[in-house]
Amino acid sequence: MDRIRIVGGNQLQGVIPISGAKNAALPLMIASLLTDDTLTLENVPHLADVEQLIRILGNHGADISVNGRRERQGESYARTIHFTSRNIVSTTAPYELVSKMRASFWVIGPLLAREGKARVSLPGGCAIGTRPVDLFIEGLAALGANIEIDGGYVNATAPEGGLTGGRYVFPKVSVGATHVLMMAATLANGMTVIGNAAREPEVADLAKCLNAMGAKITGAGTGTITIEGVRSLSGARHRVLPDRIETGTYAMAVAMTGGDVILEDTEASLLDTALEAIRRTGAEISETNSGIRVVRNGAGIRPVDIVTDPFPGFPTDLQAQFMGLMTKSSGVSHITETIFENRFMHVQELARLGAKISLSGQTAKIEGVSRLKGAPVMATDLRASVSLVIAALAAEGETMVSRVYHLDRGFERLEEKLTRCGAHVERVSD
């Protein structure tokens, strides 16, 4: 199994190209099941999760061809992928496939809307809490679906004549359930109104693509989404929006090590709250023509408190990275996680590098230390793993991160992007 070896101490200087967003690419790929025509997605990141979803969509009958690359400094950072599901050959998403990635559960929406039935295994994914599917079930039931859970599978069927538009107000904000309900409603009879919808930019990106396919969606990106059902959807061509989590991660890496880096092909408006928090730590952040410039000079890292929240709040997917940054702050900071109940597994690994962190319920108290020291650590989930990389970049000596398959699920060419900016990061294959 691969490991990543990091020798800390270097400042970051240069340009980092930001990839297309994993969390947009996945629902966009799944939306291709809604049409028998071809959906072409540009700027799709090359990640293990994308490869896994390609296998899952293929199992339902999608023909998938990959071509077109985005070149940068002689390396390709993204692909154009064509998805054509002329016929759906299976409406079952089996345990062996779905258990590897939670988002694959989302095929339930398009399969149910287009074929009138779906049998989808209950999901797996990152071990960051219980992550139930009750909101998906309630939402789809509001469109008339009949849903039963049996033997680890969710069996959903639409009434004769298909799903019907309905009104559903989420009791809790869910990104995935908003994606699924919005996709299912595009082909329902009549009008659907989704209240307390997730406002994440990836939801708006999916709606933009669905509208290009002929859907009639308004309000995506706000708390209320209205969908007027149409008979069928056509193909389209859509460019995946930039990855705001990758953007924030590298911005925090620069704030941690010091230096001067341009994050290219991204947009500050996708992560205002996180950038503001990074600014308060002492880094200078400015917008450039092509992206964002992050600079931190000699001054130390100021302690800053954050609380995670649904968009536009501070993203839970940047919580671990921010904790990595706070380990070297000049004082005491607090981080409160409100989205997932078990998302502090990085704490004990950061402690191995010398961080001083104590937990009380959903809040971590971080007492900044003046030096971290490299150590062997283990990646525990996708975002937690990259917090270890951030800390290791500023630690003295060598850190070996094992279980890097977590990183490969969500960060395209991480070691290359950092190495080009002067960091000492290499992949070691055993």
Q: Does 154 bind ligand UD1 (CB under 6 A)?
A: no
Tell the smallest beta-carbon distance from residue 130 to ligand UD1 (Å).
6
The smaller minimum CB distance to ligand UD1, of residues 78 and 372, is found at 78
Catalytic residue (choose from 47, 112, 118, 126): 126
Burial class of 421 by CB neighbour count within 10 A (0 to 12, 13 to 18, 19+): buried
Judge whether 26 is annotated as a binding position: no
Tell me 232's DSSP state: -
Helix/strand/coil (H, E, C) string of 159-216? CCCCCECCEEECCCCCHHHHHHHHHHHHCCECEEEEECCCCCHHHHHHHHHHHHCCCE
Q: Does 77 bind ligand UD1 (CB under 6 A)?
A: no
Give the integer Cα–Cα distance in Å for 353 and 359: 17
Q: Which of 268, 339, 357, 378 binds ligand UD1 (CB under 6 A)?
A: 339
CB 29 within 8 A of CB 277: no
- Full DSSP string of 304-354: --EEB-STTSB-GGGHHHHHHHHTTBSSEEEEE--S-TT--THHHHHHHTT
Assess whether 126 carries a catalytic annotation: yes
Q: Does 327 bind ligand UD1 (CB under 6 A)?
A: no
Judge whether 102 is annotated as a binding position: yes
Stretch of 50-58, 130-138, 161-169, 420-428 lying at the interface with ligand UD1 (CB under 6 A): 130-138
Q: Does 184 bind ligand UD1 (CB under 6 A)?
A: no
Judge whether 2 is annotated as a binding position: no
Number of residues located near ligand UD1, criterion CB under 6 A: 20
For the chain, give the number of residues.
430
Mark residues 46-75: x for contact with ligand UD1 by CB under 6 A, - for none. Answer: ------------------------------
Stretch of 30-38, 126-134, 350-358, 384-392 lying at the interface with ligand UD1 (CB under 6 A): 126-134
Q: Which of 175, 187, 217, 236 binds ligand UD1 (CB under 6 A)?
A: 175
Give the integer Cα–Cα distance in Å for 366 and 347: 10
- Measuring CA to CA, which residue among 290, 208, 292 is closest to residue 251? 292
Q: Which of 25, 135, 326, 335 binds ligand UD1 (CB under 6 A)?
A: 135
Give the integer Cα–Cα distance in Å for 386 and 336: 19
Judge whether 174 is annotated as a binding position: yes
Enzyme catalytic residues: 126
Contacts with ligand UD1 by CB under 6 A lie at 23, 26, 102-103, 129, 131-136, 172, 174-177, 316-317, 339-340
Residue ranges of the binding site:
22-23, 102, 131-135, 172-175, 317, 339
